[in-house]
Structure 1
């Protein structure tokens, strides 16, 4: 059986991440006397009060992610967020009080962001967030930095995950794993090669995109909504940012995209990104030992996946 972290284990991990953030913040010259954890799931987010700085410390990571590769990803995130803020785009920016660089401390790699007070009374409107994702895409089109093609898919994560699950029958139904492995054989070439993707979808333009479901990563600040969490920023089709979100949110995006003079979402590419997104969800079962609550989020989606066309209907 796979060893599952207990609530006590997770509490110790959270405390260690928070302590590392406090120590790193003080070394950077911040006054930190009343730090508090604001949020924890895949990362621990700590307000280094009274300084107006938030540290984000990723704590639930797959085995293929090293501190070096994590820092590389974090540098891209910091650069994109800083650039967007400079363009006047509503985004949570890196903290101006410390260098915009990831900091390594006590086995963690962390980044520092400007503290923004949350509007806790506002209910999340995912359709509205999908619409403003089109505005984000419009802004990102001119981002000058270099980004890798579909790095947000993390093909190493999928491949490592499917291999690990073969040794963890308590985490996955063998029939599901067999289907996932066969689907990956179909989809992997389109993920790993920009040329192969463009040959299959010659009419689709590629651009910088958020990479991690921006409609779910709009922060409700007291002074307005802000884009956040660009940890998986990548070059790809805009459809990737709407993967697994369904017709209602797709329609909300399309309406705003047309208003911006941009193309609507492409049905063929949506099938592709939805199929790839499902394989990431299957692979995410390997993270359940680190984050047991994750199983409850993944199981309903996997059950729905069993009813869908093999590899999004792209195998033919």
Structure 2
């Protein structure tokens, strides 16, 4: 078990014990930006590891409740647990209803659900404006103990360049309600066949292109096919590849995808292996080098 997973289990036990919640038999589903556990009571516990969670997660919960009122297919907070979010040991904990997945969703379904999301009004909550996609990566680089001085200097310069180019982009339309991490793995197919979006930690108001780029980037780095991307574009109703800022946006997304592994490399063996792969391919300008995601884990304390 990695140090990151061990820390997450300790926080889970202490938080649940303090709230009188049974954590026996809890399963760790994944450790990335969050440590995600499933309890036997069909509750999902999410322990945020990223900076800014304390300020962000009350809004995330409020938006999730608002989406429920709109009838939008998204995961629902476990509101029977009224004391949330919970802060413990510098981490922030939220509780959600578990959605048993039944088969893999398609990029067509992802395109359709994002089209519906982007047509909703902006909810009446103090949502962040998505103006600086590399802010957390910039902070991770400055704090990292695993980067060499050369890597830190190169990353800092590259982040500054991409931030300037991002600022110069012109979005195709007004700001919309963004999911923020609209990757196919955050779409779940329920037992009755319908799909729901999960992992709303990045919810914001900003350019629709940020929600769209994840699927195109999935072809570049994570094994999606050109047919997957074509189906997504057809379902959404427009193709990001025809947008003038496409190349810059893909490079920004590349850099964004390095940040989680910079943050986690000191405590997580997978991030320690994956970080050099991603940094090397970026430094070499290899635009189609394959990257990997951690395999799901199902371990118990």
Same fold (TM > 0.5): yes
Aligned residues: 273
Match of 1:235 among 190, 200, 205: 205
Give the structure 1 partner of residue 17 of structure 2.
23
- Mapped pair 1:117 → 2:100: yes
Question: Aligned to 2:190, which of 212, 216, 221?
Answer: 221
Secondary structure of 1:231 counterpart: coil
2 CA distance for matches of 1:280 and 1:234? 16
* Shift of residue 131, structure 1, vs aligned partner: 2.0
> 1:41 deviation in Å?
0.8
2:124 aligns to what? 144
Aligned counterparts of 1:284 and 1:56: Cα–Cα separation in 2: 16
Instruction: Tell me the secondary structure at the aligned position of residue 289 of structure 1.
Output: coil
The 2-side partners of 1:39 and 1:183 are apart by 33
The answer to whether 1:134 aligns with 2:107 is no
Q: Hey, what does 1:4 align to over in structure 2?
A: none
Measured on the aligned residues, the alpha-carbon RMSD in Å equals 3.1
Deviation at 1:82, TM superposition (A): 1.4
Q: Does 1:162 align with 2:141?
A: yes
- 2:182 corresponds to 1:209: no
- In the alignment, is residue 186 of structure 1 matched against residue 161 of structure 2? yes
Residue 268 (structure 2) pairs with residue 291 (structure 1): yes
Structure 1 residue 79: Cα displacement: 1.6
TM-score, with length taken from structure 2 = 0.76
Shift of 1:230: 0.6
Residue 47 (str. 1) matches residue 38 (str. 2): yes
Q: Which residue of 1 aligns with 2:251?
A: 275
Structure 1, 13-22 or 131-140: larger mean CA deviation:
131-140
Q: What are the superposed Cα offsets for residues 23-66 of structure 1, whole Å, 9 maximum, x if unpaired?
A: 2442xxx5x2644124131223233433x4222112x43xxx2x
The equivalences for 1:243-258 within 5 A come to: 243=214, 244-246=217-219, 248-258=227-237
- Gaps of at least 5 residues in structure 1 are 1-6, 310-316
Which deviates further from its counterpart, 158-167 or 234-243? 158-167
Closer, same or farther: CA 303–11 of 1 in aligned 2, 3 Å: closer
Aligned match of 1:307: 285
| Secondary structure of 2:201 counterpart | coil
Q: Aligned-pair distance for 1:92?
A: 1.0
> What SS does the corresponding residue of 1:134 show, helix, strand or coil?
helix
Instruction: Describe the shift of the 1:183–1:267 C-alpha distance in structure 2 as closer, same or farther (beyond 3 A).
Output: farther
Tell me how far apart the structure 2 counterparts of residues 33 and 184 of structure 1 sit (CA, whole Å): 41
User: What is the distance in 1 between the residues matched to 2:84 and 2:145?
Assistant: 38
1:120-171 Cα distance to aligned partner (Å, 9 max, x none): xx2x34523532343343354443333222267251x2222333459732xx
- Alpha-carbon offset, residue 232 of structure 1: 1.0
Contact 1:239 1:269 in 2 (8 A): no
The one of 65, 80, 86 aligned to 1:103: 86
* Secondary structure in 2 matching 1:46: strand
